[in-house]
Structure 1
Amino acid sequence: MKLYSGPLSLFSRKVEIALREKSLPFDREMVPFTQEKGYTPKHPAVLAANPKGQVPVLIDGGLTLFDSTVIFEYLEDAYPRPALYPASAKDRARCRLLELTADEILLPPLRQLMTRTSPPDPDPERQRQRVADADRAEIALRDHYETLSRRLGSQEFFCGAFSVADIALFMTILWVQRLKGPRLDAQPKLAAWYERVKSRPSAGQAAEEIAVADRELSPPL
């Protein structure tokens, strides 16, 4: 099994965590990345596999897949133990909605924070707009934290047992933290969940490798 990943690719790191949780050995190739040019020029193998030219790309025998959600579902079908989705249809649907929440609801305000690791815009007005957008994004993310904390309730993990939902939400919130977004102090249940996930070897390794990549590739925030 081979995974094309990226040092600061949120979605690739999600897949890495899932592979390690399932104890699946894989050969990882990190595609080139810089803060100035991002993942340009694109890796030729990634371009050939994914029309969007993005990592992650997973190759398992004769099968090539892209998109972290598609990869998650394939891994669960092909390598069902240990399970990363709940057993019942309704609970699996709830799990998928939580992953979608991470990927499509939390991600838009998170994207506004990503400009903090980009070179400043040479146009002062556009740079001021960037800062204002990031400030608004922080307000939205705090609201999402409150919603997630209520959804978590007294559970250790969002779907009872550790699942794809925890992987996706952990990675998105980790990205918020690394970009100096809102902290979790006001949501102790969510903060405890975050530390619980981070203490797992799979997630802890991803977090540490991201921190190393930040030191090597990103300007100080």
Structure 2
Amino acid sequence: MKLYSGPLSLFSRKVEIALREKGLPFDREMVPFTQAKGYSPKHPAVLAANPKGQVPVLIDGDLTIFDSTVIFEYLEEAYPQAPLYPASPRDRARCRLLELTADEILLPPLRSLMTRTSPPDPDPDRQRQRMAEADRGEIQLRDHYETLSRRLGSQDHFCGERFTVADIALFMTILWVQRLKGPKLDKHPNLAAWYSRVKSRPSAGQAAAEIAAADRELSPPL
């Protein structure tokens, strides 16, 4: 099994965590990345596999797939141990919605914070606009924290007793918020405790440590 990943690819790191949770050995190739050019030029194998030219791309035998959600679902069906989805159809649906929340609802305000590790816009007005958008993104993320805190309640994991793809996706999104100096979790102790529990897992801890190392190498200080 081979995974094309990226040093600062949130979605690739999601897949790495899932592979390690399932105990699946894989070869990893990191595609070239710089803060100035991003993932350009695109890796030819990634371009050939994914029309969007994005990582992650997973190759398993004669199967090549992309998109972290599609990869999650394939891994669960092809390698059901250890399960990363709840048992019942209803709970699986709720789990998928939480992953979608991380990937599509939290991502837009998170994306506004990414300007903090991007080269400044040479136009002062555009740069001020970008920073104002980051401030608005912080407000939206605080609102999302409140919703997530209520959703988590006193559970250890978002989908009950089992660690799932919902935890992986939400952890990675919140980790990205933290690395971009977004809102802290201190006003939501249950969410902060959950975040610490996930980060203490070897799979997530390795991803977090490698992201921090990539930041030191590739990103300007925040």
> C-alpha displacement at 1:174, in angstroms?
0.1
> How far apart, CA to CA, are the structure 2 residues paired with 1:28 and 1:48?
17
Q: Which residue of 2 aligns with 1:48?
A: 48
Q: Which residue of 2 aligns with 1:181?
A: 182
Counterpart amino acid of residue 212 in structure 1: A
1:28 alignment partner, SS class = strand
Q: Which residue of 2 aligns with 1:159?
A: 159
Counterpart amino acid of residue 219 in structure 1: P
> C-alpha displacement at 1:129, in angstroms?
0.3
CA deviation map 1:140-179 (0-9, x unaligned): 0000000000000110000011000000000000000000
> C-alpha displacement at 1:88, in angstroms?
0.2
> How far apart, CA to CA, are the structure 2 residues paired with 1:181 and 1:4?
28
> How far apart, CA to CA, are the structure 2 residues paired with 1:119 and 1:43?
22
> C-alpha displacement at 1:213, in angstroms?
0.0
Task: Tell me the number of residue pairs that the alignment of Structure 1 and Structure 2 aligns.
Answer: 221
> How far apart, CA to CA, are the structure 1 residues paired with 2:124 and 2:153?
44
> How far apart, CA to CA, are the structure 2 residues paired with 1:131 and 1:40?
25
Q: Which residue of 1 aligns with 2:14?
A: 14
Which structure 2 residues correspond to residues 205-220 of structure 1 after superposition, within 5 A? 205-220=206-221
Which structure 2 residues correspond to residues 58-97 of structure 1 after superposition, within 5 A? 58-97=58-97
Which structure 2 residues correspond to residues 135-154 of structure 1 after superposition, within 5 A? 135-154=135-154
TM-score (norm 2): 0.99
> How far apart, CA to CA, are the structure 1 residues paired with 2:84 and 2:119?
38
Which structure 2 residues correspond to residues 122-133 of structure 1 after superposition, within 5 A? 122-133=122-133
> How far apart, CA to CA, are the structure 2 residues paired with 1:155 and 1:184?
17
Report the aligned-residue RMSD.
0.3
> How far apart, CA to CA, are the structure 2 residues paired with 1:71 and 1:2?
12
> C-alpha displacement at 1:193, in angstroms?
0.2
Counterpart amino acid of residue 164 in structure 1: V
Counterpart amino acid of residue 47 in structure 2: L
Counterpart amino acid of residue 180 in structure 1: K
> How far apart, CA to CA, are the structure 2 residues paired with 1:67 and 1:119?
27
**Runs of 4+ that moved beyond 2 A:** none
> How far apart, CA to CA, are the structure 2 residues paired with 1:70 and 1:23?
19
> C-alpha displacement at 1:36, in angstroms?
0.1
Counterpart amino acid of residue 38 in structure 2: G
> How far apart, CA to CA, are the structure 2 residues paired with 1:138 and 1:54?
26
2:29 alignment partner, SS class = strand
Q: Which runs of 5+ in 1 are unaligned?
A: none
Which structure 2 residues correspond to residues 189-204 of structure 1 after superposition, within 5 A? 189-204=190-205
**Are 2:26 and 1:36 equivalent residues in the alignment?**
no
